[in-house]
């Protein structure tokens, strides 16, 4: 469906042309004086220079050519603005088209295209911590948005399951239980099916080992173990399987509570088989060169303002690193899925890494000229005081704990306010808590840091997730009292509040487009906050269920139903949903 601004602009251009002026001057924008009009065109001011006459003269001539039925107000005002207010019939027709079209008539630029969204980025053997919240929920929202916009989407968690952390665990386990068969190089039997450690033990093993990195003897052991694991040493591979077996179900469980779902659970280890051929090819073509014992791909460009160091492919000790697995993963993705785009959501401190990797991938032809590569670097979530988020004892807060804190806080409110009957408390609580958490995050520009404020995020008033849910629940309740509403057509607005609401509804398509273009779920949040505000204003100023004029009432119901459907679509894209009661 054509976006409303495009329609008005098209009509304005026609009017310029009909009045004898260049249609290029007919661009219309949303009014910056909402007290005077809804839309405006400033084209006469620029046209006046070209046609050497007074802008107001042009504005008047153009205004005369516009179709009066489209507008409640068409006004040429000094020095040469054209102010517009849309007519009720215009809005009615537009919203009715939105109501009956698939997905509210949004355009689908992604049709026929595939995108890989690489997000989540959990590291195996380490519990998810608060640093994993943002990549999970921003990535999920972007993936859902891309899908809505027509793309075939593949979300890949890209587990950190191949680095030094694996070697550290192996070395630590060996110190504790050297008698295990995994460490006996001559062992040829089957390794035990049961893991030598539980999840709780694994979660203790890793930080203990990690703290010993400063001990050169231990560090050497861990590096050797990492190298041997990557070379395929059987016993180490068996330990690796145990680590995965113990760790993955826990990661899945927590992502599930966040309603974050990956189509692919691949990781750095899955890229490993692609490394030898990739490296050999890069060497052969002279793309990768020796530098201080390491193998690197120079990626600096003349236009660089800051130094961009070469992308390291193989370290001097022969091991592959983060960039190596990221490049090899691209090889795998291109072979298996031929994506048109790959989008990565990680902490913005990884920006240089992705710049290097993207350049190396282009230079070496792993991706084509047309393959789009985008890194969405997010900012940090800090504590309420703006300082880095820490537990009371100075440790890193577990993501699970953060979710539990939010859930407990919301549950207490749900119980205290007697919102729902006992058996619905948990489900309602979970929905509100998720909305609070996700909206609190997503309403910020991804690149910006923000402060996590449990009380503020969970409030039922203000710019919060629960406020949006509350608005949806309010509409649902009116609709269920009214009865069958699904096929009621949109009518012309019967009061100014209905009109405001209709104008807000029309912005859906352009919002989706802008959010996609700038990878900005925060634009969807801003939109639904505006839309929810218009709904609530309309609700307070209008008798809906008490309206005696049945036609008028049906129009009100059709309008709030459309608003509800759009709000629900938007929160689905943001990754949460509304309860029936609140």
* CB 261 to ligand ARG: min, Å: 17
* CB 234 to ligand ARG: min, Å: 26
Q: What is the total count of residues that contact ligand ARG (CB under 6 A)?
A: 8
Helix axes 55-65, 43-51, angle to 10 degrees: 120
Q: 302: helix, coil or strand?
A: coil
Two tokens, residue 125: 């053997």
Question: Nearest-CA neighbor of 458 among 468, 447, 446?
Answer: 468
Check if the beta carbon of residue 250 is closer than 8 Å to that of residue 205: no
Distance between CA 438 and CA 567 in Å, rounded? 15
* Subset of 369-388 contacting ligand ARG (CB under 6 A): none
Of 110, 160, 339, 465, the one binding ligand ARG by CB under 6 A: 160
Q: 495: helix, coil or strand?
A: coil
Question: Nearest-CA neighbor of 8 among 43, 40, 37?
Answer: 40
* CB 243 to ligand ARG: min, Å: 15
The nearer residue to ligand ARG, 3 or 126, going by C-beta atoms, is 126
267 near ligand ARG (CB under 6 A)? no
Of 270, 326, 441, 500, the one binding ligand ARG by CB under 6 A: 326
Residue nearest to ligand ARG (CB): 121
* CB 118 to ligand ARG: min, Å: 5
* CB 285 to ligand ARG: min, Å: 24
Burial of 7 (0-12, 13-18, 19+ CB in 10 A): middle
- Build a one-symbol-per-residue string for 523-562: x at contacts with ligand ARG by CB under 6 A, - elsewhere: ----------------------------------------
Two tokens, residue 162: 């191949």
The nearer residue to ligand ARG, 110 or 160, going by C-beta atoms, is 160
What is the Cβ-side half-sphere exposure of residue 213, based on CA atoms within 13 angstroms?
11
Two tokens, residue 38: 């809804």
Does 236 sit behind a cis peptide bond, omega within 30 degrees of 0 on the bond before it?
no
Check if the beta carbon of residue 137 is closer than 8 Å to that of residue 256: no
**Does the CA dihedral 365-369-370-371 come out positive or negative?**
positive
* CB 121 to ligand ARG: min, Å: 3
* CB 133 to ligand ARG: min, Å: 13
* CB 123 to ligand ARG: min, Å: 5
* CB 375 to ligand ARG: min, Å: 9
341 near ligand ARG (CB under 6 A)? no
The nearer residue to ligand ARG, 16 or 354, going by C-beta atoms, is 354
- CA 378 from chain centre, in angstroms, equals 10
* CB 160 to ligand ARG: min, Å: 3
* Subset of 189-248 contacting ligand ARG (CB under 6 A): none
Distance between CA 245 and CA 447 in Å, rounded? 34
Distance between CA 257 and CA 261 in Å, rounded? 10
The nearer residue to ligand ARG, 75 or 400, going by C-beta atoms, is 400
Q: Which residues have a Cβ under 8 Å from the Cβ of 233 and sit 6 or more positions away? A: none
167 near ligand ARG (CB under 6 A)? no
The nearer residue to ligand ARG, 158 or 438, going by C-beta atoms, is 158
Distance between CA 226 and CA 169 in Å, rounded? 10
* CB 22 to ligand ARG: min, Å: 49
344 near ligand ARG (CB under 6 A)? yes
The nearer residue to ligand ARG, 116 or 571, going by C-beta atoms, is 116
The nearer residue to ligand ARG, 123 or 444, going by C-beta atoms, is 123
The nearer residue to ligand ARG, 139 or 310, going by C-beta atoms, is 139
The nearer residue to ligand ARG, 344 or 576, going by C-beta atoms, is 344
What is the Cβ-side half-sphere exposure of residue 159, based on CA atoms within 13 angstroms?
23
Of 129, 143, 144, 158, the one binding ligand ARG by CB under 6 A: 158
Check if the beta carbon of residue 202 is closer than 8 Å to that of residue 247: yes
* CB 326 to ligand ARG: min, Å: 5
Partners of 381 in beta bridges: 450
DSSP character string of 384-408: TTSSBP--TTS-PPBHHHHHHHHHH
The nearer residue to ligand ARG, 129 or 564, going by C-beta atoms, is 129
The nearer residue to ligand ARG, 158 or 507, going by C-beta atoms, is 158
Residue 224 to residues 210, 217, 295, 437, 547: CA-CA distances in angstroms?
Answer: 15, 11, 19, 42, 78
The nearer residue to ligand ARG, 251 or 560, going by C-beta atoms, is 251
- Build a one-symbol-per-residue string for 105-134: x at contacts with ligand ARG by CB under 6 A, - elsewhere: -------------x--x-x-----------
* CB 346 to ligand ARG: min, Å: 5
The nearer residue to ligand ARG, 243 or 523, going by C-beta atoms, is 243
The nearer residue to ligand ARG, 376 or 562, going by C-beta atoms, is 376
346 near ligand ARG (CB under 6 A)? yes
Angle at 490 between CA 489 and CA 496, to 5 degrees: 155
Name the CA dihedral angle for 193, 195, 196, 197, rounded to a multiple of 10 degrees: -170
- C-alpha radius of gyration, the chain, whole number: 29
* Subset of 448-487 contacting ligand ARG (CB under 6 A): none
Q: Which residues have a Cβ under 8 Å from the Cβ of 21 and sit 6 or more positions away? A: 47, 51, 58, 61, 62
What is the contact surface with ligand ARG in residues (CB under 6 A)? 118, 121, 123, 158, 160, 326, 344, 346
């Amino acid at each position: 469906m054509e976006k409303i601004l495009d329609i008005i602009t098209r009509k304005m251009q026609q009017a310029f042309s009909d009045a004898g002026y260049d249609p290029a001057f007919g661009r219309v924008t949303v009014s910056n004086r909402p007290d005077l009009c809804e839309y405006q065109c400033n084209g006469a001011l620029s046209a006046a220079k070209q046609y050497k006459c007074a802008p107001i003269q042009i504005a008047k001539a153009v205004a005369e050519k516009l179709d009066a039925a489209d507008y409640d107000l068409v006004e040429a005002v000094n020095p040469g603005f054209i102010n517009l207010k849309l007519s009720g019939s215009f809005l009615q027709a537009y919203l009715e088209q939105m109501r009956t079209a698939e997905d509210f008539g949004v355009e689908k630029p992604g049709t026929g295209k595939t995108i890989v969204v690489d997000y989540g980025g959990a590291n195996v053997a380490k519990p998810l911590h608060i640093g994993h919240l943002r990549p999970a929920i921003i990535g999920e929202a972007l993936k859902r948005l891309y899908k809505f916009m027509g793309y075939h989407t593949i979300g890949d968690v890209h587990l950190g399951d191949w680095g030094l952390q694996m070697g550290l665990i192996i070395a630590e386990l060996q110190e504790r239980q050297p008698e295990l068969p995994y460490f006996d190089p001559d062992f040829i039997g089957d390794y035990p099916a049961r893991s030598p450690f539980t999840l709780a033990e694994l979660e203790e093993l890793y930080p203990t080992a990690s703290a010993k990195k400063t001990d050169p003897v231990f560090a050497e052991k861990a590096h050797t173990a990492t190298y041997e694991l990557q070379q395929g040493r059987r016993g180490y591979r068996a330990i690796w399987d145990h680590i995965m077996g113990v760790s993955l179900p826990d990661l899945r469980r927590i992502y599930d509570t966040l309603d974050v779902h990956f189509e692919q659970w691949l990781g750095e280890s899955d890229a490993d088989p692609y490394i030898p051929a990739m490296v050999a090819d890069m060497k052969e073509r002279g793309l990768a060169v020796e530098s201080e014992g390491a193998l690197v791909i120079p990626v600096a460009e003349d236009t660089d303002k800051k130094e961009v160091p070469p992308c390291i492919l193989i370290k001097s000790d022969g091991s592959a690193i983060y960039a190596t697995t990221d490049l090899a993963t691209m090889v795998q993705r291109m072979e298996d899925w031929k994506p048109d785009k790959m989008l990565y959501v990680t902490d913005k401190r990884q920006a240089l890494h992705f710049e290097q990797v993207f350049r190396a991938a282009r230079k070496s032809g792993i991706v084509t000229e047309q393959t789009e590569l985008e890194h969405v670097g997010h900012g940090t979530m800090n504590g309420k005081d703006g300082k880095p988020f820490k537990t009371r004892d100075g440790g890193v807060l577990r993501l699970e704990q953060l979710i539990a804190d939010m859930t407990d806080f919301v549950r207490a409110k749900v119980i205290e306010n007697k919102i729902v009957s006992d058996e619905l408390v948990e489900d309602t609580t979970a929905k509100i808590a998720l909305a609070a958490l996700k909206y609190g995050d997503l309403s910020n520009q991804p690149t910006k840091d923000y402060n996590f404020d449990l009380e503020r995020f969970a409030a039922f008033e203000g710019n919060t997730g629960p406020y949006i849910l509350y608005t949806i629940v309010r509409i649902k309740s009116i609709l269920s009292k009214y009865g069958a509403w699904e096929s009621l057509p949109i009518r012309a607005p019967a009061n100014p509040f209905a009109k405001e609401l209709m104008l807000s509804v029309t912005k859906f398509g352009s919002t989706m487009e802008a959010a996609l273009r700038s990878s900005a779920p925060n634009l969807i949040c801003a939109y639904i906050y505006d839309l929810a505000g218009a709904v609530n204003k309309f609700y307070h100023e209008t008798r809906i269920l008490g309206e005696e004029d049945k036609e008028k009432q049906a129009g009100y119901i059709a309008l709030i139903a459309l608003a509800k459907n759009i709000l629900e679509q938007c929160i689905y894209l943001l990754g949460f949903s509304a309860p029936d009661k609140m």
